[in-house]
Homo-oligomer: A and B are copies of this chain.
């Protein structure tokens, strides 16, 4: 990010990746508008009555935005200090996936509707709009979720095993006659039930099946408490961690609020807090 080299490539870098120049902000705002417009166009094109009347126009719009975003992706690769790193980053992958469906639809018709993955690009909005506070909150949230990933993984894995067993049990108990035509389909039913979605497209008909289903429902209803507890504990702990930054010179107590000036234990002066990121 050598900002002293005022080359063409560098100027483009500032426009496309930067948010600290007028041009950079203008570019980002236009980008958001273009993304939203292209996503709305794809959505509208999927409505039969609109497709009939405006299909040709929407097809043109789709190709226009796809070519635009393709060029943009190329420029991003060109101006990046490390193109490979950008290409492998979250937004790099999303940027690529956002143009592929149109080209792919030349081979496999219909895939162009996957263009709505472009909506993910809009997540840049937090950065674009200079909403530093939002970015900070998003980062805090993301960090807390990342710290819980192993506990959540253990939990999800255990739940999936329970779902497989409930699904198989229902296949044996209810059988193909009552809509549980195979174990995979019964597992689908178990997921619908344990997550408390409950479409009702498949539902138990026999008394024994209803007993097993009741157990599955109560299980799903009760265990939702577990990931909630995990994530809440992590977010709460982050609040606590913010307090362990300074030690009182008088009594050596070290859990002070970031806004404390005096020790709450002995009334001594506290050192100024280190205001980090």
Chain A: residues with CB nearer than 8 A to chain B?
Answer: 39, 42-43, 46-48, 110-111, 113-117, 119-120, 122-123, 125-126, 133-134, 137-138, 140-141, 144-145, 150-158, 161, 164-165, 167-169, 171-172, 175-176, 181-188, 191-201, 203, 207, 210-211, 213-214, 217-218, 220-222, 224-241, 243-245, 251-269, 273, 275-276
Contact = CB atoms under 8 A, between A and B. Distances in A.
10 contacts: A43-B184, A122-B161, A192-B214, A193-B197, A197-B198, A198-B200, A199-B203, A236-B237, A237-B240, A267-B268
A255 B259 contact: yes
A158 B122 CA distance: 10
A119 B165 contact: yes
A16 to B, nearest CB: 22
Contacts of A222: 152, 156, 227
Contacts of A182: 43, 46-48
B196 A199 contact: no
A42 B228 contact: no
Given A196-B221, A256-B264, 5 more contacts: A43-B168, A126-B154, A192-B198, A230-B235, A232-B232
A266 B255 contact: no
Contacts of A158: 123
A217 B191 contact: yes
A261 B267 contact: yes
A193 B240 CA distance: 34
B168 A114 contact: yes
A231 B195 CA distance: 18
Given A185-B210, A231-B229, A232-B228, A134 B117 contact: no
Nearest to A51: B182
B259 A254 contact: yes
B220 A195 contact: yes
A3 to B, nearest CB: 28
Nearest to A143: B277
Contacts of A267: 261-262, 267-269
A82 to B, nearest CB: 25
Return the 3 tightest CB-CB contacts between A and B, nearest first: A260-B264, A262-B267, A197-B198
Contacts of A235: 229-230, 232-233
B226 A141 contact: yes
Given A117-B168, A168-B114, A228-B231, A263 B262 contact: yes
A225 B230 contact: yes
